[in-house]
Chains A and B, each alone.
Chain A
Amino acid sequence: MLTKDFTYESESRTAYCCAEKLMGTRFEILLTDIEKRAAELLVDSLIEHISADDSLLNRFDPSSEVSRLNSALAASGRDLAFSEKMTKWCELAELYRAKTGGIFDVRYGGGYDFGGLAKGAELEWASETLRDRGIHNALLNFGGSSIVGLGHHPYGDSWTVDVPDPFSGRTLCTVRLCDSALSVSGNTPGYGGQIVDTQSGERVLSPRVVVVTALNPADAEVLSTALMAAQCGRREKLLAEFPGAEAQFFDNL
């Protein structure tokens, strides 16, 4: 069940909201220099939108469209008719599949899985919505692995984020976000294997972390997933498809 926790600090005019169990993780948003009521309404509408998409895409909810599609696929090998929303998601996924030369594919393995795209796409949509409403400084964080910083910290020139080494807890790298996004993909022996190299069909099992920054959170998310899966030789080519994006690899953790 989705739970929401809204905090407003009037002195600093800062609003913070944390929604648990959204897209399988925690969604946090921090808005600065904003009225309480405006912040509340805005945050509610963002969460409502994401939550609606979540019930479309959630593979673990048997009644979601993705689950129904996947069971139909498993049973008959055929796709059901897509809803309008699902068509949009598939178009977006197709765009990224083409851009990554097939490395990123939501259709790998016999079913649909938007896991490596949805959070980034939601962050992108949310950032646009905020900009439209005249919010220029905000930090949005999806589970600590997909983060977008709009504008900057009120007392700094960016939003600065330390990415930890999952083994030691030490900081792997520090990323400055200023109208840009961060996505971290990773693997450890204990929790490996969620990411599959679609070219070789192999699960990526080596302890490895990829930290990607890009102007746009959906790009960052897709790229970090693709770079995790890609063989070293293909990294350069992939990155070249995403102008402005940067990646740091931590291969021997």
Chain B
Amino acid sequence: MAETIDNGKRQFLKELGAGAALLAAMPWLKACSPEKTEAASQARGQARVALIGCGSRGQYHLTMLRDIAHARVVALCDPYEVNLRAAAAMVPDAKLFSDYRSLLEDRSIDGVIIATPLGSHARITLDALEAGKHVFCEKAMALTLDECKAVYEAYQRSPKALYYCMQRMYDPKYIEGIRKIREGLIGEVVGMRCHWFRNADWRRPVPDPSLERQINWRLYKEHSAGLMTELACHQLEICNWAADKIPVEVAGLGDIVYWKDGREVYDSVSLTYRYSDGRKITYESLISNKYNAMEDQILGKKGTADLTRGVYYLEEDDTVSGMKQLLAQMRDKTFGAIPAAGPSWRPELRNSYTPHPLIKGPQSVNGGQSMVSADHDGSDLILSAFCTSCITGEKVENVVEEAYCATVLCLLGNLAMDTKTVVTFPEEYKIPYMKF
């Protein structure tokens, strides 16, 4: 299965090269074409990259980097000895650092991959760009609005590439889904409905109580902005992508409903983001019930795209035509009953809608239950594109802008919940990329 998905993805990337229109709409995919990667590595060998933050996500990146031929991991950094050792076991030749600032002084490093807690993303990114490194940083962009702005501005001045691991931008089912939505597949986009449900406390085991805040950083505001930046960030990005706009305001309520264990961040959030034309994103996340799992639904006048599952549904679905089945029967020289569509109204029950695939061939679907990763979700492609940039020195288009927009929206969502007010998008955090 994994094999076929990989083949499918390779095929998809090949076709990307041919799709000039697609590349114009999604320019960040330019660095992904196999020819480009090939050419880069033939000319200048491997990208020499370092990992800063060797926790679970960092180690996952290491496993992906193993399969990226044009990448070589030359250094690792983590102040937490346990994780540094674990990563070192995966890359025995790498130089080890406990302070990222010393690592940045190493001139043999082309680029750094930052997989530290959110609270340190901005500082390390700014320092790394300053030190002349290409940077791949985990989402979200930063813990505060001002940090986001600082990173965005530093990037405008920097000649270096900056990537954020917003992997949906590199996930074939999302790319195809958005492309088809823009072509009118589901009619006019009238709303978005996203949620992420889990039933887990979001905690990691702590060997010593003094390490609680360091290890369970997600639960504390000095390091984390909670569900919004950890989960919603990916999903809000997709909504903007489909709406081709940025919301003008947000309202929401956040609470600690179940996990009353001393954490500071909400374990339950419900928000409404509103675009200037009245369309809305309804967003919900709760981590004490997982029945609804994760979904990114784009709602159109004629249908619904469920991008998480890579399928779409039509409101008036005549596409499962019995007549088409007949044609197939003629081909196969078989005889069978075909469905009549019945009377021309359609049922209103959700499970009676027929799913249609957004992309050809097998695809991987992420149920959203893992705290670390989902296979084949685009993370590998984006990492590979970053390594290509480390070789070519080319910046990537739109990724920083998308990460900025999504992160700012997450933080504004938190502000709305914290203050129980409707928050209007503040002028000072607008950037030219945003359309309202």
Chain A interface (Cβ < 8 Å from any Cβ of B): 7, 9, 11-12, 14, 16, 18, 25-26, 28, 30, 32, 139, 141, 143-145, 147, 153-156, 159-169, 171, 174-175, 182, 184-188, 190-191, 209
Cα distance, A237 to B342, chains bound together (Å): 25
Does B86 have its Cβ within 8 Å of any Cβ on chain A? no
Can you sample 29 A-B contacts with CB below 8 Å?
Answer: A12-B333, A28-B321, A28-B323, A30-B323, A139-B326, A143-B341, A144-B341, A145-B342, A145-B344, A153-B326, A155-B334, A160-B336, A160-B337, A162-B322, A162-B340, A163-B342, A164-B339, A164-B340, A165-B342, A166-B343, A167-B352, A171-B339, A175-B340, A182-B340, A184-B342, A186-B342, A187-B345, A190-B347, A191-B346
A-B interface contact total, Cβ < 8 Å: 112
Query: Would A155 and B343 count as touching, CB distance under 8 A?
Result: no
Query: Would B329 and A155 count as touching, CB distance under 8 A?
Result: yes
Cα distance, A30 to B345, chains bound together (Å): 24
> Which residues on B sit within 8 Å (CB–CB) of A188?
345, 347-348
Query: Would A169 and B352 count as touching, CB distance under 8 A?
Result: yes
Residue of chain A at shortest CB distance from B336: A160
Query: Would B347 and A166 count as touching, CB distance under 8 A?
Result: yes
Residue of chain A at shortest CB distance from B333: A155
Cα distance, A12 to B330, chains bound together (Å): 6
Residue of chain B at shortest CB distance from A210: B343
> Which residues on A sit within 8 Å (CB–CB) of B427?
none
Residue among A11, A14, A32, A161 making CB contact with B322, cutoff 8 Å: A161
Does B107 have its Cβ within 8 Å of any Cβ on chain A? no
Residue of chain B at shortest CB distance from A174: B337
Query: Would B323 and A18 count as touching, CB distance under 8 A?
Result: yes
Residue among B342, B347, B349 making CB contact with A144, cutoff 8 Å: B342
Query: Would A143 and B344 count as touching, CB distance under 8 A?
Result: yes
B199 to chain A, nearest CB (A): 30
> Which residues on B sit within 8 Å (CB–CB) of A175?
340
Residue of chain B at shortest CB distance from A224: B343
Cα distance, A170 to B339, chains bound together (Å): 10
Interface residue SS majority, chain B? loop
Cα distance, A223 to B326, chains bound together (Å): 27
Does B291 have its Cβ within 8 Å of any Cβ on chain A? no
Cα distance, A143 to B349, chains bound together (Å): 21
Residue among A168, A182, A185 making CB contact with B352, cutoff 8 Å: A168
Query: Would A191 and B345 count as touching, CB distance under 8 A?
Result: yes
Cα distance, A169 to B331, chains bound together (Å): 26
A156 to chain B, nearest CB (A): 4
If A12-B330, A144-B341 are given as contacts, then 20 extra A-B residue pairs at C-beta distance below 8 Å, sorted by A number, are: A16-B324, A18-B323, A26-B318, A28-B321, A30-B327, A144-B343, A145-B344, A147-B340, A153-B326, A154-B330, A155-B329, A155-B333, A160-B336, A164-B340, A166-B342, A168-B352, A174-B337, A187-B343, A188-B348, A190-B348
Please, what's the 1-or-0 string for B337-366, where 1 marks a CB less than 8 Å from any CB in chain A?
111111111111100100000000000000
> Which residues on A sit within 8 Å (CB–CB) of B318?
26, 143-144
A121 to chain B, nearest CB (A): 17
Query: Would A156 and B335 count as touching, CB distance under 8 A?
Result: yes
Interface residue SS majority, chain A? strand
Cα distance, A135 to B321, chains bound together (Å): 23
Query: Would B337 and A163 count as touching, CB distance under 8 A?
Result: no
Cα distance, A166 to B339, chains bound together (Å): 12
Query: Would A9 and B330 count as touching, CB distance under 8 A?
Result: yes
Cα distance, A143 to B344, chains bound together (Å): 7
A32 to chain B, nearest CB (A): 7
Most chain B Cβ neighbours within 10 Å, of A11, A141, A165: A141
> Which residues on B sit within 8 Å (CB–CB) of A139?
323, 326
Cα distance, A153 to B340, chains bound together (Å): 15
Residue among B327, B331, B341, B347 making CB contact with A145, cutoff 8 Å: B341
Residue among B323, B333, B337 making CB contact with A16, cutoff 8 Å: B323
Residue among B327, B329, B330, B345 making CB contact with A166, cutoff 8 Å: B345
Cα distance, A144 to B318, chains bound together (Å): 9
Query: Would A190 and B327 count as touching, CB distance under 8 A?
Result: no
Cα distance, A25 to B318, chains bound together (Å): 10
Query: Would B349 and A167 count as touching, CB distance under 8 A?
Result: yes
Query: Would B346 and A166 count as touching, CB distance under 8 A?
Result: yes
Residue of chain B at shortest CB distance from A171: B339
Most chain B Cβ neighbours within 10 Å, of A161, A169, A190: A169
Residue of chain A at shortest CB distance from B331: A12
Query: Would B326 and A30 count as touching, CB distance under 8 A?
Result: yes
Query: Would A18 and B321 count as touching, CB distance under 8 A?
Result: yes
Most chain B Cβ neighbours within 10 Å, of A144, A147, A156, A187: A144
Cα distance, A164 to B320, chains bound together (Å): 13
> Which residues on A sit within 8 Å (CB–CB) of B322?
141, 144, 161-162
Most chain A Cβ neighbours within 10 Å, of B326, B331, B342: B342
Known contacts: A18-B323, A191-B345. The answer to whether A144 contacts B340 by CB under 8 A is yes
Cα distance, A209 to B338, chains bound together (Å): 19
Query: Would A186 and B339 count as touching, CB distance under 8 A?
Result: no
Residue of chain A at shortest CB distance from B324: A16
B328 to chain A, nearest CB (A): 10
Cα distance, A54 to B318, chains bound together (Å): 20
> Which residues on A sit within 8 Å (CB–CB) of B346?
166, 191
Query: Would A190 and B345 count as touching, CB distance under 8 A?
Result: yes
Cα distance, A214 to B334, chains bound together (Å): 26
Known contacts: A18-B323, A160-B336, A160-B337. The answer to whether A186 contacts B345 by CB under 8 A is yes
Query: Would A161 and B337 count as touching, CB distance under 8 A?
Result: yes
Query: Would A186 and B347 count as touching, CB distance under 8 A?
Result: no
Cα distance, A28 to B327, chains bound together (Å): 12
> Which residues on B sit within 8 Å (CB–CB) of A153?
326, 329, 335
Residue of chain A at shortest CB distance from B338: A161
> Which residues on B sit within 8 Å (CB–CB) of A166?
342-343, 345-347
Known contacts: A141-B322, A144-B341, A156-B335. The answer to whether A169 contacts B327 by CB under 8 A is no
Query: Would A14 and B330 count as touching, CB distance under 8 A?
Result: yes
Cα distance, A155 to B348, chains bound together (Å): 36
> Which residues on B sit within 8 Å (CB–CB) of A7?
327
> Which residues on A sit within 8 Å (CB–CB) of B336?
156, 160
Query: Would B343 and A185 count as touching, CB distance under 8 A?
Result: yes
> Which residues on A sit within 8 Å (CB–CB) of B348?
188, 190
Residue among B327, B342, B344 making CB contact with A209, cutoff 8 Å: B342
Q: Which 7 A-B pairs have the closest CB atoms?
A: A144-B341, A191-B345, A186-B343, A156-B335, A155-B335, A12-B330, A160-B337
